[in-house]
Amino acid sequence: MQNLNPGDKVKVFTSSEEFEGIFIPSPTDSFVIKLKSGYNMGIDKNKIKKIEILQKAKTTEIKHPKISNNKDLKTISILHTGGTIAALVDYETGGVIARFSPEEIIAMFPELKKIANIKSRLISNMWSEDMNFNHYNIIAKEIEKEIKEGVDGIIITHGTDTLGFTAAALTFVLENLPIPVLLVGSQRSSDRGGADAKLNLLSAAHFIAKTDFKDVAICMHESMNDDSCLIMPSLKTRKLHSSSRNAFKVVSDTAIARVENGNITFLKHHPKKEEKKLSLKLFNPKLKVGILKSHPNMLAKEITNYSNFDGLILEGYGLAGNFPINKIDKFTSENEKIHNELKKLAKKIPLVATSQTIYGRVNMNVYSTGRLLQEAGILGHNLDMLTETAFIKLAWLLSNYPKNKVKELFHENLRGEISKRTEPDFSEN
């Protein structure tokens, strides 16, 4: 569209509205601009009547001094999968600058050089919602490279929308991880007021530099205040708010640690891991695994749509992960068809029940519907996995084990995805 460059200030005209902002290139069918509020907005290109360039981008090359390593500090590698944390918009010039080199990261967050020696590079630049199994494999291989080069810890910068999926994926892929790998996101980009990127990044660096933790975890704001971050378990953490800085919450578990003013307080015991050689058990990108959510007025056709899939998560209602399978009157004949389709599909592929309630454990023995689902061959009884974690675990098992082994392994606690006991009160989580 015209001779637009990243950072150009534009006015976009549709048939009914006008929008003004900073042009951001996007591979999608949307024309993306950053509004004055700091939020990005996508406009359907087919609806655009005219684009007027208000001001051309002006970028100034900034030369940063080379940084030297301190032999007394640990070395942390920051691997970027997107530009939220390291991107700035200059609203006076319209220039968009993405900063990924160690010198640029240190210039942006100078406190880092007192915490650790910093390596930093871009491994992909994409919206997190566009990630798939291929990208999990790429990130895992890049982590392996950094470990072979001798770094003491790794920070993965990641979009928040699917950060939980990626954290779960890396936890299963990276067997015998010898160093900490922390996923860090930002709910508000660094050019906006109230940005959370700085505290999240610095807290992750402090945690790596000052502990012997060796696992995958998530580091995000603990509250709306800018005073502390939580280190959260990768398989028991979910994004529960669309925009708040403390959007990520631990579900049916406890946060690993709190980082406050650079000080670390462990909130749960983390056992020392036996030293073994790192191995990667990657995803099969050709797998087709789905998530089907139970809802009123459901049709049997929704089940048959997955007949060519390799596995399916059934996010059902309440305690038992219930689906509408009972014919109780003349209006519920479709439920009987749903039941039959579930029984047929369960003979072909693994079906796993989770609950839309998020908190709590699935107990398929309490109600008759749950017992019927178990009789149909549906897995998930007595598990408290998040739907996202169950999806990732099922895909990973199907990628690495024969089908007859998948059903057995799904009920085993392989990485801490299943709680030993159900927490009675979730109000403070």
Catalytic center residues: 84, 160-161, 239
Distance CA 322, CA 372 (A): 10
**β-bridge pairing 18-24 and 30-34:** antiparallel
Residue 49 near residue 57 (C-beta atoms within 8 A): no
Phi, psi of 174 (to 5 degrees): -85, 90
Residue 320 near residue 364 (C-beta atoms within 8 A): yes
**β-bridge pairing 257-260 and 248-250:** unpaired
Q: What share of the chain is helix, strand, coil (3-state, %, to 5)?
A: 25, 25, 50
Consecutive H or E run containing 208: helix 197-210
The single residue listed with the structure tokens 């979730």 is: 426
* Structure tokens that stand for 56 in this block: 């051309």
* Structure tokens that stand for 113 in this block: 């050089």
Half-sphere exposure of 95 (CA within 13 A, CB side): 11
**β-bridge pairing 9-14 and 279-280:** unpaired
How far is CA 168 from each of CA 234, 269, 362, 383, 389, rounded to the nearest angstrom?
6, 20, 20, 16, 6
Which distant-in-sequence residues (6+ apart) come within 8 Å of 86 by Cβ? Answer: 80, 98, 99, 100, 104, 105, 108, 157, 190
Residue 130 near residue 158 (C-beta atoms within 8 A): no
Distance CA 350, CA 347 (A): 8
**Residue 75 bridge partners (DSSP):** 117
How many CB atoms within 10 Å of residue 279?
A: 11
DSSP string, 375-401: HTT-B-TT----HHHHHHHHHHHHHHS
How many CB atoms within 10 Å of residue 268?
A: 12
* Structure tokens that stand for 249 in this block: 């919450």
